[in-house]
Structure 1
């Protein structure tokens, strides 16, 4: 396979995303039944074997997305690994706590790193369809989702059953009702006491609003673009705006008026999410040179160890860079 064929296979176009509508046990629960789940890189925490996965191979983290119309919710759940969101379209009300008693609204370009061991859910508010990218830590994302007891109980009334092995049984699609010993146990009141809680004030350090992005001294000594260090370890040499130990970090670049980010190589696995504009990515693996143009919403899984450069070719490019470390090393500029 040539390098060009390889990078073409690692590109997921926004306009070609294939949603799953039955990925989780709340997929038929009224108020949660019109949501789309996207597995872009890795299967994430999708529970249905029928979920489409664009790129299956992962390298320490998964990239997914959630899309839904106004008023539709993703029900209360918790993770044991990192879950970060980048809002791409619309506005989302994120709510958290054992009963979802706290909330905050995030809009386009806002990012949140949600602490583990915390129940969370979200719904789209306003009039527009909402879409946000998700970053899930780990290759297997901790083995799945822990659902609030009310979610499991209600889902069974709509033919969806969650088993102990985290698989989803759908009786409306012909599956048999699982025996009681195979079902995922419902959390007890005692179990619920082990989960954490955060007030709105305690959650604020885990959020960076797009309007509050602060550029950093960039890695490339350029003056015609900006670099942002958005989420990562407090022990990193980057001054991340959200300081969280998620095993991943999120950076971004703003390239205007034909600006070019020079060729560089990183030790960490990286994925690019092209948020706006058209961006030309040139890839060099030491032997071959290849190119791909990223348009708005496209996701590119960069071959590990390859050198890349970025060039703005239309509009103002804004590109997120997700790295497979919350304490990344500086890039090697070529």
Structure 2
């Protein structure tokens, strides 16, 4: 397989995303239905075996997305691995705590790294369809989702059953009704008491608002380049705005028209999410070179071991880099674009 063929397989276009509408136990519960769940890189924590996965190969983290109309909720749940969100469009009200008693509203370009062992959910507020990208730590996402017991209770009667192994049974789609002993047991009150809670003030250090992004000294001497360090380990070489030990980190590059950054490799897995503008990506590996153009909302998984360069083709472009380490090293540059 040529390098060009490999990178074409690693590119997922925003306009070609295929949603799943029954990925989770709450997918038909009134008020939580009408959700679109996208598995872009890796199967994430989708409970349905029928969920479409665009790229199955992962390298320490999964990239997914959630899309939903106003008023529709993603119900209270928790994870044992990192869960980070980048809001792409619309307004999302995040709520958390054992009763969902705390909240914050995030919008375009806002990033949140939600602590583990904490119940969280979200809904779209305002008038527009909302869409945001998600990052889940771990190749297997830590064994799936832990649902608040009320979510499982509320889902009864709509044809979806969650088994103890984390798989979803859909009787509307022809699956047989499972036996009671096969079902996921509900958390007890004692188990609920082991989950953490954060006030809104305590949660804000885990949020990087787009309007508050601050530039860092760029790794590249190119003009017209702004670099942002958004989430990463407190001990990292970079001064990340959100300091959290997630095993993943997020940086971003803002390029003015015609600006570029040279081919480089940080020695970790990287996935690029093109947020705004048109960005040309030039990939170098084993003496080969291949190019692609990312438009708004496209996702590209950089091949393991490859170097890549970025060039803005028009207007301003904005590209996130999700990395498979919360302690990313400085890039090794190979050559100019």
TM-score bracket, shorter-length normalisation: over 0.9
Shift in Å at residue 41 of structure 1? 0.1
Q: Within 2, Cα distance between the matches of 1:222 and 1:6? A: 28
* Alignment-derived partner of residue 287 in structure 2: 287
Q: Within 1, Cα distance between the matches of 2:258 and 2:221? A: 17
1:141 aligns with 2:141: yes
SS in 1 for 2:279: strand
Shift in Å at residue 217 of structure 1? 0.3
Q: Any stretches of 5+ residues in structure 2 without a counterpart? A: none
* Alignment-derived partner of residue 194 in structure 1: 194
Shift in Å at residue 45 of structure 1? 0.2
* Alignment-derived partner of residue 210 in structure 1: 210
User: How many residue pairs get matched?
Assistant: 334
Contact kept in structure 1, 2:20 and 2:38, CA below 8 Å: yes
Shift in Å at residue 321 of structure 1? 0.2
- C-alpha distance after superposition, 1:252-290 (max 9, x if no partner): 000011001111112000000000000000011022110
* Alignment-derived partner of residue 272 in structure 1: 272
1:176 aligns with 2:192: no
Tell me the TM-score normalised to structure 2 length. Answer: 0.98
Shift in Å at residue 295 of structure 1? 0.2
Q: Within 2, Cα distance between the matches of 1:111 and 1:237? A: 20
SS in 2 for 1:8: helix
Contact kept in structure 2, 1:266 and 1:305, CA below 8 Å: no
* Alignment-derived partner of residue 115 in structure 1: 115
1:72 aligns with 2:72: yes
Report the RMSD for the aligned CA atoms in angstroms: 0.6
SS in 2 for 1:157: coil
Shift in Å at residue 223 of structure 1? 2.9
- C-alpha distance after superposition, 1:148-184 (max 9, x if no partner): 1011111122111101110000111111111111110
Q: Within 2, Cα distance between the matches of 1:238 and 1:171? A: 50
Q: Any stretches of 5+ residues in structure 1 without a counterpart? A: none
Superposed, 1:299-310 pairs within 5 Å as 299-310=299-310
Contact kept in structure 1, 2:222 and 2:259, CA below 8 Å: no
Shift in Å at residue 221 of structure 1? 2.1
* Alignment-derived partner of residue 43 in structure 2: 43
Contact kept in structure 2, 1:93 and 1:103, CA below 8 Å: yes
Q: Within 1, Cα distance between the matches of 2:6 and 2:251? A: 24
* Alignment-derived partner of residue 10 in structure 1: 10
Q: Tell me which stretches of 4 or more aligned residues in structure 1 moved more than 2 Å.
A: none
Q: Within 2, Cα distance between the matches of 1:18 and 1:75? A: 22
Q: Within 2, Cα distance between the matches of 1:29 and 1:5? A: 42
Tell me the TM-score normalised to structure 1 length. Answer: 0.99
* Alignment-derived partner of residue 152 in structure 1: 152
Contact kept in structure 1, 2:223 and 2:259, CA below 8 Å: no
